[in-house]
Amino acid sequence: MTDTTGVTDTTDTTDATDATDVTHAGARSPAGRLVGKVAVVTGAGRGIGRGLALTLAREGAAVGLGARTGAEIDAVAREIVAAGGRAVAVPCDVRDRAAVECLVETTAATFGRLDIAIANAGGMHGFGPVSDVEPDDWWATHEVNVLGTLLTCRAAIPHLRSSGGGHILVMGSGARLRGGPGWSAYSSSKAAVFSLVRILAQELRSDAISVNEIIPGPVQTELADFAGATVALAPGAPGVFGGEWLKQPADVAEFVLGVLALPSRGPTAQSFSLLGRDA
- State what percent of residues in the chain have pLDDT above 90: 69
- CATH superfamily membership of 2-218+249-273: NAD(P)-binding Rossmann-like Domain (3.40.50.720)
123-148, pLDDT tens digit by residue? 888 888 999 999 999 999 999 999 99
- State what percent of residues in the chain have pLDDT above 70: 79
- What type of residue sits at position 264? S
16-38, pLDDT tens digit by residue? 334 444 454 444 445 699 999 99
Q: Do the strands 116-119 and 166-171 form a parallel or antiparallel pair, or are they unpaired?
A: parallel
pLDDT in the model for residue 240: 43
Taking all residues of the chain, what is their mean pLDDT, rounded to a whole number? 84
pLDDT surpasses 50 at 213: yes
Nearest Cα residue to 66 out of 5, 4, 22, 111:
22
pLDDT surpasses 90 at 249: yes
Residue spans per domain, the chain:
2-218+249-273
pLDDT surpasses 70 at 10: no
pLDDT confidence band for 227 (50 / 70 / 90): very low
pLDDT in the model for residue 157: 98
Pick the range with the lowest mean pLDDT from 98-102, 244-248, 269-273. Answer: 244-248
pLDDT in the model for residue 14: 31
237-247, pLDDT tens digit by residue? 444 445 677 88
pLDDT in the model for residue 126: 80
**Residue 207 annotated to the active site:** no
Max intra-chain CA distance, the chain = 56
Residues 111, 127, 186, 226: which is the catalytic one? Answer: 186
pLDDT surpasses 90 at 12: no
Average pLDDT for residues 83-105, to the nearest whole number? Answer: 98
Average pLDDT for residues 232-239, to the nearest whole number? Answer: 43
155-178, pLDDT tens digit by residue? 999 999 999 999 999 999 887 877
pLDDT in the model for residue 30: 52
53-85, pLDDT tens digit by residue? 999 999 999 999 999 999 999 999 999 999 999
